[in-house]
Amino acid sequence: MSFHQTDADLASITLPTLILYDEHESSVIRRHVPTLAAEIPDATVQEVPNAGRASPWDNPGFFNEAVEEFFPETSQSARR
């Protein structure tokens, strides 16, 4: 079985990008993380511990903290 391949110009992404992937993610997904991290100019990459394909539910504390740290202005205004 083969998959359709799409070439994307990841270097053209101009906004900071948060890449979260699960510790127990399938190899199909995990193998793309290094490419994304290398080609997206302002990428932040974090592995979500104790999670596998559903990090917001598998480890909501870590997931929420990672998102809040990445978007500090948004998370502060939401708490007001």
pLDDT tens-digit map of 2-49:
666 778 899 999 999 999 999 998 888 888 899 999 999 999 999 999
pTM of the predicted protein model:
0.78
What is the residue extent of each domain of the chain?
10-75
What's the rounded Cα separation, in Å, for the pair 18 and 75? 15
Q: C-alpha distances in angstroms, 64 versus 6, 14, 60, 72, 75?
A: 31, 24, 6, 12, 10
